[in-house]
Structure 1
Amino acid sequence: MVSKASSFLLESQELTALACAVYLKDQSRSRNFINQSRIPHVKDTRSSWSLNVLINKVRFHAKVSKIQDGYKVLIAGDIFEVKGNLSFISPLMDLTVNGEQRLLQLNQRLGGGSYDIRYYGNVYPLNVLDDVAYEFSQYMLEKKKVDTSSLVLAPMPGILKSVGVAAGDMVAEHQEVCVLEAMKMQNSLVSAKGGKVKKVNFTMGDTVNEGDTIVELE
């Protein structure tokens, strides 16, 4: 019989592996966008990475390598193979971990390797850092956590293809409020909670930068 502690550890390790895969795919998309924008950038030719995932401030260290259709993640001696369609078109990602289906919902991409991910019905604030960034983070003063649940932020630079809400509208939790096109792919952006739209700062066709506030809720 598997104990609750063992089950929680396995779930945390699986979430760590999934977070590593999401982060690396996100980084790859960002580099592709920069290259298309003609901004000088050194191409990343690595096929393995050393990453640190902070889940509710608990650190999990992972060694990640690229495999066909996904990533192999080594965590504390255990291997997790993450495969599937790592697409940001929809907040829902249908993936597999060691051949077992796992459904992950990407609630928010906050930039800098920070995400809010819903997994097994719970929402986890995650930070993914490489070893250098993690070491530097140990010497930095902790920032006060800012509640961004009332904001819909641009996770990357792009062009708004549609805006589906206006000031005064009521939205439900995880409702699509706009579609952002980046690198010729359309990304559905959703509200982190339900509420009344206070302000819409951009319109269809506008260009936004990473971190821009597109929609504000009351």
Structure 2
Amino acid sequence: MPQRFAIYYAPSVTDLIWERAAVWLGRDPANGQSYDGAVAGLERTRLLNLTQSAGRYGFHATLKPPMALAQGETEESLRAALAKAAAELPKVSLGRLIIASLDGFLALVPDPADNPALQDLAANVVETFEPYRAPLTPRDHAARRARGLTPRQEELLDAYGYPYVFDEFRFHMTLTDRLAPEDYDEVLQAARTWFGPVLGEEVVLDRLVLFHERENKLPFNRIAEFPLGG
């Protein structure tokens, strides 16, 4: 599989939320640092097992999902388009972030959830960068459908290579993989303990961040960021 790029929101690498999330997930995708030791009472090996996928993708909120580049496009052309688009997009207040359960996995989500400006920005990013996306392979398309989608989500998958865009988009920053019932309460309490001290302030979506997967199944790395100029 070719390399893939994703356009995310992620906080500044100096932000306390970023630092805590990197320790929680066991890896900082910006500098490659790994973390050992227990977190909020959860032994590291167990926590890594509960966050394998979240850790591989890195702490982020998806705007344009991971994509191979369309024929004729390069990392350089994508970066140039990101710089141009970001300069024209307005910053968006997310309000306060809270820990929530989404289909069994824990994530940070905005409170309140209803945010038309955020929905507009996410839709803008999806549309703007659609020409840079190579079509899904039949295998990847089938794998997405196998997870169980609504008719609307299948329509979006066919059109944009991802089922959770536009009216199906929900901003979230994933903290765990899907949790078994016997793990849920303990992990939720640990997450509240660990992230609680840094969740009291307003968060502003103020940048687009480019992540890169060099080869299939390797961790995504944070390689560039583009401040919003509006």
TM range (shorter): under 0.3
Q: Which has the higher contact order (CA 8 A, sep 6+)?
A: 2
TM-score of the two chains, using structure 1 as the length reference = 0.24
